[in-house]
Structure 1
């Protein structure tokens, strides 16, 4: 028999930690087809979107001799038994006008069905029980089951992507937009059984109903009389909002839908056209004469459909369930976050309700396939790992201690290795009137005192201060400040402290572009509001960032608790890729350069195209290995590589194209855990930091585990999923899980354990910083800007790449 998996096999579950029970959003599949199921190819002509394909197929179902087949909306049909027509079937379907696409007359569709395969479902059972390896047949079977659980909801519930949405409990986001609750579902292979993973997802929809009422909500008006005069700007805003929206009309008994193309520039009373008798008339008069409808609001513009058909707004209703794909504004985004931020118990209850909404029990398609699902969430075993011992400088009060609940206080503690700050200056982006020199000096004194109390050495306590224009000329201003810093200290500048007037991105982006890629000096930005109300804790947090930017170490884990690193020279790497523009990708790899895994350096590459693979990984790793050797004086004998950003179906691509010692980190997944006992939860009701799951809902044979390492603040916390692709070191579960958890306490800019292993977190930060290195003060967020193209990125100065400038 061939190897049961191409990736690292699970070495067996871990044993360390306190045993607990948790509920998980997995539902056991108690029965599924054990015999063969039939796979058919279907071609629908003419080609139409999946939603209409499903309607065409539904009209055909009665011709399939009572067999309830399932359909993916494109080319694939699966049935529990063969169709009686043999290997091929051709038919025609006439779609009724009310089921057709918007604004069209009835259409005839040609359907051709052809049998292409039989899937042996028993092979899935053999695989789950360790008696066979993964195969194309098994993957085809899982795909068929996923289509089975999606088939009926796809015909009855609003679908966007892979998720299903209901307006039960929907909430307005204002301006004609509302948020709906959605459900994600997916078949998962787990040890000895199949399960369905169900999770929540929310997205925005256009509000439905009267177009007049939606007009009022878009502009936050009370009366339609306010629209007797519409400005050009408001006209453009409304037209942009309405374009491509589906509507239906109320003046005649037609269940016909139309799609809005634009608005007229003239009101209904002045919008003219030639009627059927070639007489010129206006829309208001036409509706009065033909339909006996006297318009209440003839001063409103008309809706234009089919290029030359004009409809008064007051006879139009918006069709329900239309996905809103434009960017939400700040208020809408905040309301969306409030809607989705559910405490664990509430989220668990809504997920459980999803089994009724997705309707597993009364699903005639599942019944025909002999497919049954438990209505109860699975209760599984987890463990809570003990936190590590943290070390600060020996002169600190209680210099070695064990944090509780994933966080700790740094009061009366000095950083493990304090950096020296001698050559620096302060750039104040604002006028002397807004930021008096005395107020700036007071803040600097407080910051210096805090930094020194925390263990840094700052001989130069009165750096030069220069007020700069925040509106432009940032590069020239920073150059001047850099020169003043060097002249004042008679040495190369180490840091520019920048006081910012607002939280806007363009100024911040330009400061980072200039300091990182032009001058080559670390920068630390401070909000002006914090400067005026500088409290000790805020200054202490700033000190953590400054210290590591200058090469210091804030704290470290007891070496005895990280034997994988301390026994032999080990380099820990983290990698991530981001896509800041349509034709550009940024790849970042960070690497530890000390035996404590506290100091990291970075390598960056800009790649053409929206690609996930790190194309120049070999050279990047070579750079980092060289820096490790220069810093430690030894070559690493072990590499631990954490890679983020991939889905499970892409694991083979990573293994083949990137590196042969790799662990994948997944933050975007749908697995959740809910404590069953209050003593096993934090104050928000989430699992405690250190909760690890490596059985029941993991892969049947591969080395993966879920770790919830951070203290929850609000909502329901996701654990992070770690999946080992290749292990040449022979780690067991305990050693790798403990190391990964302990590393989460070493994130340098806060005094709490973080949710994802720091090397990857640092790679995220490097990628995020690199987005600013293209446009500076002309920066706009390419992820949300329409029509964003590729950009030209400047390289970070070599000296900065050897310190944690990205903090």
Structure 2
């Protein structure tokens, strides 16, 4: 299936020029590149593999690229030995006094990469063939070859410790530079960007131990290490590579990997010397090496079975990537390190290009490749901002946002919900959250909600306290019951005031209210409750209103004609995968779809599927459910489907398009054989390294980023397919990342202006804030739904100590979101409201609760 072609360049908006972090490849090899298969025996790690191949190149006076995959070698011309040959190479495996080891290199010609096909593709005269992909891969290997020989590499980035910044816990963040070869119209580009990752701090192991345990100095550990700290330390140090320094230069070259930590300190850790006698580690080091331990009270590290090393004779080897989850403090420090304003990021990218030194790269020269040192300039446009509509009774019923933001002053939500039956639960003691403080916050919240158009007849909801470490489910059920008793109506909302911003309590509340009770919940951070600011209350109002079925804002139908001219459904899909260290957990797929012509109400479908599977397995049934919801709401079937798909990499485009387009068609056919709405399928990408930098101050917002509505559709985009970069939001800090929209399939004959304007306008009606967001709301909601669904399994996000058996059992424990109350219960409730007095109604609620929670 061929992807959609660009229908022509757009004209809507004000024309500007921007710089982007791409550097043009000024000359691409014209001659074919020779591909060889290579095998090195015995098998060795990548770093040693690279060193062996360097020795081979020097000894045989040849030049070739040993790719990152190690099995492929590329050369600018035929190598002198013919189609195949075997060589022996002497290469030392360590830096010590051991003799060199003999390695055997087998090389065989695998084929030729025809560079002419790449030139045809770039000029729009041919499709993207496997040969073109190979040619682009060779350029990737070529630009990464020299940096990978001199620096530590992670994926497409290489890292340097120059300017490294320490985080807490013996971890530091290194500056990295990402680079990737990208095709564009008539040229190849090199995308260069900043990256950062965490590494262990090199140096004394004792110093690292002090930092991991959060002590001021090693003197704080003179009494030894408690069991709790020892377990924490062992987990942090496991598999860390160290060298020993107690015998000078000779042993400092030897490397070990930490397996565990001894239960006893060095002066009490004993081992068998082989003659039946035992000795403690401290005594052994003194007698054998004349080394009196300075810290005998610290435990030893175990590097092999029964091989104990005192911590003070160990050094952490430089350049070890920290792959564990960062703490909140470490994450905050990492964000501060990476969050750089546009001008600073652009300057650092230029510095990175100087470090890469493309012009002085001997391998580039041998292949005939030259790269510009200047960022590329691209034409762009700033699309007009849409007009937002609020309730007609507002003092300011319509507003045109400035720089992507506005506020609720003098505005009432487009459709205000009524909140009558609700309760408040504070997870903390009365000493922590006094009744007066909670009531003061409620007064401000209720006043703000009413000013913004909500109706709240019950201004004194019941307030209760609960233990955050106690039975959360029982507390929430009690709050549900009190809400119904107080208002004599079906409970609508539980407001939960949380003592902290940690995930576990929040996740448990959402799991219970979504899947056990079936009621909307609104969580409030205690620090905001104690301050009770109007702006915060206004933000909470937006969330509560839509949770209760209201509508916050909409766009005039004339500004979104594609949706309003004919019945049209918007769909956004995303898949949330488990972390790489959790292979047994499932993936979660979510689709969110609009329900009306204003694209302001949405319904969702969720499925749990095999972990790390990119195709949405049950897409047909999910789409069928959402089409039914649209029909039940509007009374008409959608005639057009606009499907935004997140979480797809370029290598998966064909697979996703073929599988998921067919699934959408199957869903339509299952409803009616003749039902064939037109479909447009758009991939939405945020995980890329493209950045835009305005060239004129008048085209920048207050943070120095491009203005919301900036769109780029040429120079840095695909040579001929329908894609564009859209920066729809205003940056709060750092350098904003535009969203990449790539149209894979289009039966609706979108013009460039039509799809760009629609996608941009939709970003203003995200329900939860008064700012334009960075990507279209259907996808944004799908992402939130995936995250929420993780909470529906006990312990899914916040525990890293579960066994595999526990995890596998949890796959089947994802809760199903409950309806608020079954219809029959609601029916009998309204009869009883007139027939029974308050006391009997209370008893009825207890009976109803018992039935409901069974």
TM-score where L is the length of structure 1: 0.93
Deviation at residue 600 of structure 1 after TM alignment: 0.9
Instruction: Kindly indicate whether residue 815 of structure 2 is the aligned counterpart of residue 794 of structure 1.
Output: yes
Please name the residue that 2:839 is paired with: none
SS in 1 for 2:183: strand
Deviation at residue 382 of structure 1 after TM alignment: 1.1
| Alignment counterpart, residue 327 of structure 2, candidates 326, 329, 337 | 329
Which shows bigger deviation, 519-528 or 195-204?
519-528
SS in 2 for 1:659: helix
Task: Report if aligned partners of 1:572, 1:639 keep a CA contact under 8 Å in 2.
Answer: yes
Task: Report if aligned partners of 1:424, 1:495 keep a CA contact under 8 Å in 2.
Answer: yes
**CA offset digits 1:164-187 (Å, max 9, x no partner):** 000111001132111100111110
Deviation at residue 276 of structure 1 after TM alignment: 8.6
**CA offset digits 1:707-753 (Å, max 9, x no partner):** 11111110111001111110000101111000000000000111110
**CA offset digits 1:505-545 (Å, max 9, x no partner):** 22222221222112222122223333333222222211111
Which shows bigger deviation, 248-257 or 387-396?
248-257
Instruction: Kindly indicate whether residue 670 of structure 2 is the aligned counterpart of residue 674 of structure 1.
Output: no
Which shows bigger deviation, 135-144 or 245-254?
245-254
Distance 1:229 1:425, change over 3 A: closer
| Alignment counterpart, residue 607 of structure 1, candidates 599, 606, 609 | 609
Q: Which runs of 5+ in 2 are unaligned?
A: 663-679, 823-854
| Whole-Å separation in 2 of the counterparts to 1:511 and 1:219 | 32
| Whole-Å separation in 2 of the counterparts to 1:388 and 1:222 | 56
Deviation at residue 116 of structure 1 after TM alignment: 0.7
SS in 1 for 2:358: coil
**CA offset digits 1:309-340 (Å, max 9, x no partner):** 44443333222111111122221111111101
Distance 1:219 1:797, change over 3 A: closer
Deviation at residue 583 of structure 1 after TM alignment: 2.8
Task: Report if aligned partners of 1:249, 1:317 keep a CA contact under 8 Å in 2.
Answer: yes
Deviation at residue 269 of structure 1 after TM alignment: 4.5
Alignment RMSD (CA, Å):
2.5
**CA offset digits 1:598-651 (Å, max 9, x no partner):** 111111111133212111111111111111111111111111111101111111
SS in 1 for 2:360: coil
Deviation at residue 296 of structure 1 after TM alignment: 3.9
Please name the residue that 2:145 is paired with: 151
Deviation at residue 780 of structure 1 after TM alignment: 4.3
Task: Report if aligned partners of 1:593, 1:601 keep a CA contact under 8 Å in 2.
Answer: yes
The aligned runs of 1:643-654 (5 Å cut-off) are 643-654=645-656
Task: Report if aligned partners of 2:224, 2:297 keep a CA contact under 8 Å in 1.
Answer: no
| Alignment counterpart, residue 375 of structure 1, candidates 348, 373, 376 | 373
Which shows bigger deviation, 713-722 or 532-541?
532-541
**CA offset digits 1:387-412 (Å, max 9, x no partner):** 10011111111211211110001111
| Whole-Å separation in 2 of the counterparts to 1:721 and 1:638 | 23
| Whole-Å separation in 2 of the counterparts to 1:644 and 1:93 | 48
Deviation at residue 246 of structure 1 after TM alignment: 2.1
Distance 1:493 1:210, change over 3 A: closer
Deviation at residue 236 of structure 1 after TM alignment: 3.2
| Whole-Å separation in 2 of the counterparts to 1:267 and 1:469 | 40
Deviation at residue 160 of structure 1 after TM alignment: 1.9
Instruction: Kindly indicate whether residue 512 of structure 2 is the aligned counterpart of residue 491 of structure 1.
Output: no
TM-score where L is the length of structure 2: 0.88
SS in 1 for 2:576: strand
SS in 1 for 2:782: helix
Name the structure with the higher helix share: 2
Please name the residue that 1:456 is paired with: 454
| Whole-Å separation in 1 of the counterparts to 2:54 and 2:383 | 52
Which shows bigger deviation, 211-220 or 749-758?
211-220
Q: Which runs of 5+ in 1 are unaligned?
A: 802-807
Task: Report if aligned partners of 2:36, 2:109 keep a CA contact under 8 Å in 1.
Answer: yes
Deviation at residue 559 of structure 1 after TM alignment: 1.3
| Alignment counterpart, residue 412 of structure 1, candidates 407, 410, 413 | 410
| Alignment counterpart, residue 233 of structure 1, candidates 228, 233, 255 | 228
* Number of aligned residues: 793
Instruction: Kindly indicate whether residue 80 of structure 2 is the aligned counterpart of residue 84 of structure 1.
Output: yes
Task: Report if aligned partners of 1:642, 1:759 keep a CA contact under 8 Å in 2.
Answer: yes
Please name the residue that 1:506 is paired with: 504
Instruction: Kindly indicate whether residue 184 of structure 2 is the aligned counterpart of residue 163 of structure 1.
Output: no
The aligned runs of 1:516-665 (5 Å cut-off) are 516-580=514-578, 582-659=584-661, 661-665=680-684
| Whole-Å separation in 2 of the counterparts to 1:315 and 1:433 | 51
SS in 1 for 2:337: helix
Task: Report if aligned partners of 2:157, 2:177 keep a CA contact under 8 Å in 1.
Answer: yes
SS in 1 for 2:134: helix
Distance 1:352 1:684, change over 3 A: same
Please name the residue that 2:182 is paired with: 188
SS in 1 for 2:144: helix
SS in 1 for 2:783: helix
